[in-house]
Amino acid sequence: MNSTVVADSVRAAIARNAASTLLARSTALAACTDKPGEILRTFLSPAMERVHQRMQPWFETAGAIVSVDRAGNLRAFYPSASNENSPRLLIGSHLDTVPNAGAYDGVLGVLMGLALVEGLSGRKMPFAVEIIGFSDEEGTRFGIPFLGSRAVVNQLDDALLGKDANGITIREALSDYAAGHPEAIETSLSSMTTGYLEFHIEQGPVLESKKLALGVVDSLAGQSRCHLVFNGRAGHAGTTPMLLRRDALAAAAEWMTRCEMIASNVEGLMATVGQISAEPGGVNVIPGTVRCSLDVRHTDDTVRGQSVRVILEEAHAIAARRGMQVDAEEYHAQPAVHLDSAMISLCDKAVRQAGYASIRMTSGAGHDAMVIAPHLPAAMVFLRSPGGISHHPDESVLEEDVAAAIHAGLCFLDEFALFLAEKEGNPIA
Ligand SMILES: [Zn+2]
């Protein structure tokens, strides 16, 4: 068959049927877990292997050739109408989970790729489609995220010595995997790959608050992580007068409310203190030392950098006023990633063509697209998360929103074909 554009009513009908199949498949894959009683799948684990086995016949029936690569990523190749040297569109997300996960984070994006090639009903595009199920995004096993996507863009080397809870390094885990999977293909991307598209549940409440099914992501926020230690003085809770105390926890608490206020006054800024411990920790002892974390996110790296400085200066000022010291250190900084404007426009157009309102969104969470975007023109589409619930067994997605995403995705495939043809100066009829 050729790449004749399909009528929109046909796409809508295909999408409605495919949405219920996608949800049933998500439920089936949720049963592949490393921990009975909850959903947990980690890098190169037995449950991940079972997910690959479950998915393989689905992809093969859709006309795709299925492999795993040496980093344990599932790779399904749906050929183009012409030949092997055609451009290639990569569609994917991750198949690993956090502990006690929901059934859609990551998996949905991989099943979307499958639903889209199935939705072509045997029709071949002028480009090949490769669907990728990344082996690790969450970092659950090694504490280091994005192992699957980093391997694909050859940026795993500095993580290879990371160890899991059993002392196994990533390097060892990979070489064991390669030994058990001699058929595994090269991990790196084909040089013909010309774009990356990721569908993902939003993991937040924005689309729901706007009563929208879909959103087009234009950027992923940069992140700073800091450690702080407030060094006060421990003392007797009954004998130390209030004005003579150096209560490290009271200082930290004052600083935390300032963090909240500072972030609330800057558009798009998120600042979170997620961990705190007080020592010595006695009910009748004034806290002498408080250790806490700080996570700051914004899509503008300058705003993020300035905000981190202001928030840490505030910690020093509060500590000084209370007669104590604070040690503060930024130990991790990940720059913001801006997705590709041409790919974003194609997504906007596809969502509108499918009959849905389109908004541009920022992702506060990290995604595989963040790792891929510096190497390939990338775009992301979010699906509404009911209740904004994510990384939780109650995470869900509405069937009608999945249908919207599949419909928009099918429109995207035709838009992408036109885009490639125009780029090559060879418009297709
Ligand atoms: Zn995810």
pLDDT tens profile 181-205: 999 999 999 999 999 999 999 999 9
Judge if the upstream peptide bond of residue 280 is cis by omega within 30 degrees of 0: yes
Give the containing element (helix H, strand E) for 204: none
Separation of CA 352 and ligand 1 centre (Å): 25
Sign of CA dihedral 184, 189, 192, 194: positive
What type of residue is 77? F
Confidence category of residue 292, pLDDT binned at 50, 70, 90: very high
Give me 374's structure tokens.
Answer: 């510096």
Domain spans of the chain, in order of start? 8-220+336-423, 222-334
CA distance 96 to 137: 7
The predicted pLDDT at position 7 comes to: 77
Say what the pTM is.
0.88
Burial of 198 (C-beta count, 10 Å sphere; 0-12/13-18/19+):
buried
Separation of CA 273 and ligand 1 centre (Å): 22
Listed residues: CB within 5 A of ion ligand 1: 105-106
Separation of CA 342 and ligand 1 centre (Å): 24
The predicted pLDDT at position 154 comes to: 96
**107-160 residue pLDDT tens:** 999 999 999 999 999 999 999 999 999 999 999 999 888 999 999 999 998 889
Separation of CA 149 and ligand 1 centre (Å): 12
- Give residues with Cβ within 8 angstroms of 257, minimum separation 6: none
Separation of CA 408 and ligand 1 centre (Å): 20
**251-275 residue pLDDT tens:** 999 999 999 999 999 999 999 999 9
Separation of CA 290 and ligand 1 centre (Å): 32
b (16+ CB within 10 A) / e for 212-243 = bbbbbbbbbbbbbbbebbbbbbbbeeeebeee
CA distance 93 to 118: 17
Confidence category of residue 429, pLDDT binned at 50, 70, 90: very low
Of 216, 211, 201, the residue nearest 103 (C-alpha): 201
Separation of CA 253 and ligand 1 centre (Å): 32
**CB 99 within 8 Å of CB 140:** yes
Residue 93 reports pLDDT greater than 80: yes
Residue 207 reports pLDDT greater than 50: yes
- Give residues with Cβ within 8 angstroms of 7, minimum separation 6: none
Give me 25's structure tokens.
Answer: 């498949």
Class of domain 222-334: alpha beta
Please work out, in degrees rounded to the nearest 5, the angle formed at the alpha carbon of residue 294 by the alpha carbons of 293 and 297.
150
Please work out, in degrees rounded to the nearest 5, the angle formed at the alpha carbon of residue 151 by the alpha carbons of 136 and 165.
45
Separation of CA 367 and ligand 1 centre (Å): 6
CA distance 97 to 48: 10
The predicted pLDDT at position 2 comes to: 44
Separation of CA 35 and ligand 1 centre (Å): 19
8-220+336-423 has which CATH code?
3.40.630.10
Separation of CA 85 and ligand 1 centre (Å): 31
Separation of CA 108 and ligand 1 centre (Å): 9
Separation of CA 2 and ligand 1 centre (Å): 34
Separation of CA 133 and ligand 1 centre (Å): 11
The predicted pLDDT at position 144 comes to: 87
Separation of CA 147 and ligand 1 centre (Å): 13
Separation of CA 340 and ligand 1 centre (Å): 20
Instruction: Answer yes or no: same fold for 8-220+336-423 and 222-334.
Output: no
Separation of CA 183 and ligand 1 centre (Å): 27
Separation of CA 388 and ligand 1 centre (Å): 14
Separation of CA 379 and ligand 1 centre (Å): 15
